Amino acid sequence: MRASKGVVWLSSFLMVLAAFVFMYPFIWMFAGSFKSNLQIFDTQSFWPNRWNGEWFEALFSGKYFDFWRSLRNSFFISALQALAATFLASMAGYALGIGRFRGRAFLIGVAVALIVLPVQASALPMLEWINRIGLFDTLWGAVVPGLASGLGLLFFTRVFALLPRDLLDAARSEGAGDWRIFIICLPLVRSFMLAYGFLHFVLAWHAHVIPLLVLHSDAQRTLPLSLAALSGNSMNTPQAVILAASSFGMLVMLGVFGLLYSRLKTALSEFAVG
Amino acid sequence: MRISSVSSIFPWGRFWLAAPFFLCAVAFWAVPLGKGLWMSMQSDSYWGATHFVGLKHYADLLEDSRYWKAFGNTFWLATWVTSLTLGLALVFAAGIRASAKWLRAPLSFALMAPGLCPPAAMGILFLLLFHGRAGLLNQWFVSPLGLEPINWLSDPGFVLPAIILQSVWRWAGFMSFFVARAWDALPRDVLEAGALDGASAWSGFWRIRFPMMRPTVLFCGLYLIVDCVSQFAGSYVLLGGSGGTNDSGLLLVSYSYQKAFQGSGFSSATAVSLSIVPWILGLVALLSFVPKGILKGGNK
C-alpha cells in the first residue's frame, strides 16, 4: 500500500493545518510573555508592541516569586518520583511478567484498582496520613503518593512478558536467581524504562491536587503551584510573567521530549504489538 | 516453558522483587483509601469530635439533586471526551502516517504539545479561546458562520462543551502518538495477506488493523475515562472550582471540592469522591477484557 503523491500532499497539508490549530495557543502564549496585561486580554492584537524580555528578567530574578527555587522543588519531586516509580514498577513487573504463580491475577487486579481509583480520589485522608507520618510540608510528602503506579506495573508486566523465553531459561539453567536475572534484563528494557520514566515525569510535574494540599509554605511550592498562586493573587499581577514561566517550562519539556523521541518511538512500538 | 510455568517451590526472588511496589501501594494508596472510607462514615465537622453515622452521607447523596447533576455531567464528559479523543487520535495517527516523511516528527511534536502544557497556563489560554465576545472561537468559527457570539463560559448550554473541547485538545495529540506507535508495529504479512484477499483500505482498517491495535486503544480509553472522572485541572482552570451557571459545568471532582472547602465538611466531601468507586469498578468489570488485552502475549 503506497500512498500516491496527491494523497501525501493533501494529508501533509491537512495535518500541518491541524498542528497549527493545536499549537496556536502556544504561539500566542509565547508572544503574550512580552505583553502588558492590557494587551494580553485584547484579543485583537497578536504580536507584542515590543520584544524586550522584561518579564523574563523579572521572572528569573525572582521579583514575583522565587522562580529557581520553585523550579528546583518541581524538579526534585518529579525526577525522584519518576525514577523511584520506574524502578519499583519494573521490579514488580518482572515478578508478574515472567511467569505465573498463585495470586498473580489478584496482584494484577490491584494494579487495575490503582489506576481506576487514583490517589486524588482520597486526597483528604491522604493529607491526614502524610501529616501523621511527619511528611507534611516537605518535598518528600509530595513524592511518596505517586510511588506505586498501577499504569507502570501493567506496562512493565507486559514488557517483561515480551522478553524472549530462551534468554530467561538460559540464565536460569546457569543457576542465576531472580534478582540476577532482573539485573541482566535491565539493559534490554532500558528504552521502556526511559519511556515510562518520561511519562511519569510529565504527570508528576503537572500534579496539582496532592502538592497543593501537602506543600504548605511558600518555600516548598512547586512551579505549577507558584504560578497558580500568582495568577490568583490579584489583578495587578502581570499575566505575562505566568506566560513567560509557562513558555519556559514548555520549552524544557519539549526539549526533553525531543531528546527522547526516537527511543520513545521504538519502545512504544515494541510494546504495542509484541 | 517448563521451568517458568507454575513452580512448585515458592518464588522468593520474585516475591522480594514485587514486595517494595506493593508495600508502597499499601502505604500510600490502600491506607488513605481505607481511611477515606472510614472518614466518609463520620459526621461532618472541621474540628472537634465526630461520631459514626454509617452510610448516611451516601444516602443523602442519593437525594441530592446537585449530586446527580454532577454525576450526569461527569458521565457525559467522560463519554464525549473518550470517544472524540480516540476518534481524533486515530485520524491524526492516520494523517501523520500519510504525510511526507520529514514532516512526521515535527507534526507529532506539535500535536503532543498540549499534553505537556502546565495547567496554570491553560487557564489563561482558555480565557483567550472561550472569552465571551472577543474569544477566538467566536471570532474564527461562530461569527463567520453568521451565528450570535456564544458566551462559552456562562451560557449553560456551552459550559460543558467548553470543558470537553479543552480535554480533547489536551489529549488527542498525546493519544495519537500511542496509536501511531501501535500502528507502526502491526505485522506486515497479515496486512499484505488482507490486501491480497481484496480487502479495501477501509475494511482493512476496521477488520484487521483496528482489532490488532485494540490493546493500545483500550489502554488510552481507560486512561481518558479515569482522567475525566478524577482530574481536577480541566474544570478548575475554566470555572475555578465552581459549577458554572446553573451548575451546568459541575463535575464530581468540583462538587467534592466545594463540599470540602466551601460547605459541608470533609466527611461528605470524601463520600462524594468515593461514591464513584462502584461505578468505576462496574465499568472495569464490564471491560474485564482490558487487562487481558493489555497483558496478552508471552508467558503462556
Q: Does A243 contact B at CB distance below 8 Å?
A: yes
Mean residue pLDDT across chain A: 85
Mean pLDDT along residues A100-121: 83
More confident residue, B136 or A199: A199
Q: In a 3-state reduction of DSSP, which class is residue A157?
A: helix
- CB contacts, 8 Å: A221 with chain B: none
Of B17, B94, B100, nearest to A94 by CB-CB distance is B17
For residue A219, what is its C-alpha cell? 518555600
Instruction: Classify residue A164 by its DSSP letter.
Output: -
* Least confidently predicted of A19-23, A173-177, A213-217, B46-50: B46-50
pLDDT, one tens digit per residue, over B95-108 is 988 888 888 888 88
Q: In a 3-state reduction of DSSP, which class is residue A210?
A: helix
Q: Does A252 contact B at CB distance below 8 Å?
A: no
Mean pLDDT along residues B110-127: 76
Q: How far is B55 from chain A (nearest CA, A)?
A: 17
- Residue B230 CB-density burial (10 A; 0-12 exposed, 13-18 middle, 19+ buried): buried
- Model confidence at B300, pLDDT cuts 50, 70, 90, reads very low
- Model confidence at B1, pLDDT cuts 50, 70, 90, reads very low
pLDDT at B297 over 50: no
Cα B186 to Cα A1, B58, B96, B208, distances in angstroms: 14, 47, 16, 10
Q: Does A37 contact B at CB distance below 8 Å?
A: no
Cα A198 to Cα A78, A205, B28, distances in angstroms: 10, 10, 22
Reported ipTM: the value is: 0.88
On whether the CB atoms of residues A195 and A266 are closer than 8 A, the answer is no
Q: What is the pLDDT of residue B5?
A: 46
**Amino acid in position B165:** L
Place of cell 531528546: A259
- Model confidence at A141, pLDDT cuts 50, 70, 90, reads very high
pLDDT at B142 over 80: no
- Model confidence at B231, pLDDT cuts 50, 70, 90, reads low
Q: Does A83 contact B at CB distance below 8 Å?
A: no
Q: What is the pLDDT of residue B104?
A: 85
Residue B52: strand pairing partners: B42
Highest mean pLDDT among B38-52, B176-190, B242-256: B176-190
Which of A2, A12, A163 has the highest number of chain B CBs within 10 A, making it the mutation to test binding with B? Answer: A12
Q: How far apart are CA B47 and CA B235, in angstroms?
A: 29
Q: How far apart are CA B276 and CA A164, in angstroms?
A: 41
Q: How far apart are CA B81 and CA B87, in angstroms?
A: 10
Closest by alpha carbon to B153, among B235, B68, B251, B72?
A: B235
What's the maximum distance between 2 C-alpha atoms anywhere in chain B?
75
On whether the CB atoms of residues A32 and A49 are closer than 8 A, the answer is no
pLDDT at B161 over 90: no
**Amino acid in position A48:** P
Residue A166 makes CB contacts below 8 A (sequence gap 6+) with none
pLDDT at B299 over 50: no
Q: Do A98 and B182 touch (CB under 8 A)?
A: no
On whether the CB atoms of residues A131 and A72 are closer than 8 A, the answer is no
Q: How far is A7 from chain B (nearest CA, A)?
A: 7
> How does DSSP assign chain B, residue by residue?
-TTTSS-SS--HHHHHHHHHHHHHHIIIIIHHHHHHHHHTTBPP-SSS---B-TTHHHHHHHT-HHHHHHHHHHHHHHHHHHHHHHHHHHHHHHHHHHS-HHHHHHHHHHHHGGGGS-HHHHHHHHHHHH-TTT-HHIIIIITTTTPPPP-TTTSHHHHHHHHHHHHHHHHHHHHHHHHHHHHHTS-HHHHHHHHHTT--HHHHIIIIIHHHHHHHHHHHHHHHHHHHHH--HHHHHHHTTS--GGGTT--HHHHHHHHHHTSS-HHHHHHHHHTTHHHHHHHHHHTTHHHHHHH-SS--
Q: Do B1 and A40 touch (CB under 8 A)?
A: no
Q: How far is CA A260 from the centre of its chain?
A: 13
* Least confidently predicted of A1-10, A205-214, B44-53, B63-72: B44-53
Closest by alpha carbon to A95, among A168, A193, A191, A167?
A: A168
Q: How far is B142 from chain A (nearest CA, A)?
A: 15
Closest by alpha carbon to A118, among A150, A92, A154?
A: A150
- Model confidence at B31, pLDDT cuts 50, 70, 90, reads very high
Please provide residue B42's backbone torsions phi and psi, each rounded to the nearest 5 degrees: -105, 160
On whether the CB atoms of residues B272 and B66 are closer than 8 A, the answer is no
Q: Do B117 and A26 touch (CB under 8 A)?
A: yes
pLDDT at A77 over 60: yes
Mean pLDDT along residues B226-254: 72
- CB contacts, 8 Å: B198 with chain A: none
Q: Which sign, positive or negative, has the C-alpha torsion A267, A272, B3, B6?
A: positive
Which of B4, B16, B17, B216 has the highest number of chain A CBs within 10 A, making it the mutation to test binding with A? Answer: B17
- Model confidence at B24, pLDDT cuts 50, 70, 90, reads very high
pLDDT, one tens digit per residue, over A241-264 is 888 888 888 888 888 888 888 888
* Least confidently predicted of A96-100, B71-75, B265-269, B284-288: B284-288
Q: How far apart are CA A53 and CA B163, in angstroms?
A: 33
Q: How far apart are CA B298 and CA A235, in angstroms?
A: 58
pLDDT, one tens digit per residue, over A188-246 is 888 889 888 988 998 888 887 788 888 988 888 888 888 877 776 666 677 788 888 88
Between positions 164 and 193 of A, the ones with CB within 8 A of B are: 165, 168-169, 172-173, 177-179, 182
On whether the CB atoms of residues A224 and A142 are closer than 8 A, the answer is no
Q: How far is B137 from chain A (nearest CA, A)?
A: 11
Mean residue pLDDT across chain B: 79
Q: How far is A39 from chain B (nearest CA, A)?
A: 12
pLDDT at B6 over 50: no
Q: How far apart are CA A130 and CA A28, in angstroms?
A: 40
Mean pLDDT along residues A174-189: 89
Of B32, B121, B230, nearest to A126 by CB-CB distance is B32
Report angle CA A158, A160, A164 to the nearest 5 degrees. Answer: 115
Q: What is the pLDDT of residue B235?
A: 67
- Model confidence at B80, pLDDT cuts 50, 70, 90, reads very high
Which of B5, B6, B9, B21 has the highest number of chain A CBs within 10 A, making it the mutation to test binding with A? Answer: B21
Which of B3, B7, B14 has the highest number of chain A CBs within 10 A, making it the mutation to test binding with A? Answer: B14
Q: Do A178 and B121 touch (CB under 8 A)?
A: no
- CB contacts, 8 Å: A147 with chain B: 24, 28
Of A19, A43, A269, nearest to B128 by CB-CB distance is A43
